[in-house]
Structure 1
Amino acid sequence: MGAWLPATNDSIIWAMIIASILPMFFAYLAKFFAEFKTKDNENPREFLAKTTGIASRANAAQQNSYETLPIFLASVIIALLFFVPTVIVSKVAWLYVILRILYGLAYMANWATLRSVLWAVGFACPLFLFYIVIRMS
């Protein structure tokens, strides 16, 4: 992540927005791969629970994306509140987003080991921001 990534609050907020939208993107992919129809919208959770293959894995990526989102958002906000340099917050936030995208793709491709590694490294991003805040306090 080089010069293309501005170290600004706007950039950080965009990373937060994209991270917040990712679960819905994976839900869309799950529905797309499962050939979701208008009538299926009567009970979409039941429909998605019955999917298999790539659609099921995309749905699982969606569900898991919601699990790590609160700690990511909290870590970014706390890092900003405690004046962690924006260059650090921006890089870590975007690294998290990139890793979450790769995680979802690895999940859909059924690459279990890579998926687990990406999840762990992605989860380390918010923990790292908390660590920096603690060290600066």
Structure 2
Amino acid sequence: MSWVAAFSPDISLAVYAMLAACIQPLLWALLAKVAGGFRWQDNENPREFLAKTNGMAARLNAAQANTFEGLPIFLAAVMVAMYCFVPQNVVNAFAWLYVLLRTAYAACYALNFATLRSVVWLLGMMICVALFVFAAMLV
């Protein structure tokens, strides 16, 4: 894991990765609305608008929902890893890798690359599992 050694042990990197992960579903929702032709009138019931979309807009909305669903697992994994003193450069590297994988996941969803999307999703979840395992090894 020599690429991990390249990461700084600065804790703010993990915090910024968590912030980026929190912003992602909002970005995917915005892109879903743009792709679906969202208008100001649609803001009266935006969930109904998004539920009626199809194609890329519907897939971006699904990416948004899935990103929200995975967010608590990621945030918990990062915080538990830091609490258990997993080396901070490892936490930082894995946290940013997760953010990159979730970005790739949303792109795969938007472009309808279903199999690749599933592989990328699995890799993202494995990042969370790895952080929990690293933490457990230090307890």
Checking the alignment, whether the CA contact within 8 Å between 2:50 and 2:58 is kept in structure 1 is yes
TM-score with structure 2 setting the length: 0.95
Q: What's the TM-score, normalizing by structure 1?
A: 0.96
Look up the match of 2:134: 132
C-alpha separation in 1, matches of 2:7 and 2:85: 19
Q: C-alpha distance in 1, partners of 2:112/2:5?
A: 33
Residues 99, 119 of structure 1: 8 Å contact kept: yes
Deviation of the 1:7 alpha carbon: 3.0
Q: Is the 8 A contact 2:77 2:128 kept in 1?
A: yes
CA contact (8 A) 1:7 1:91 kept: no
Give, in whole Å, the separation in 2 of the partners of 1:113 and 1:70. 24
Give the Cα–Cα distance (whole angstroms) in 1 for the partners of residues 76 and 18 of structure 2. Answer: 10
Structure 2: how far apart are the matches of 1:2 and 1:79? 15
Following TM superposition, the consecutive aligned residue runs of length 4 or more in structure 1 with deviations greater than 4 angstroms are: 1-5
Q: How many equivalent residue pairs?
A: 137
User: Once superposed, what is the RMSD of the aligned Cα atoms?
Assistant: 1.3
Amino acid at match of 2:73: I
Match of 1:90 in 2: 92
Tell me how far apart the structure 2 counterparts of residues 126 and 34 of structure 1 sit (CA, whole Å). Answer: 32
Q: What CA deviation, in whole Å up to 9, does each residue of 1:75-114 have, x standing for no partner?
A: 1111111111001000000000000000000000000000
Q: Unaligned 5+ residue runs, structure 1?
A: none
Give the Å deviation of 1:33: 0.4
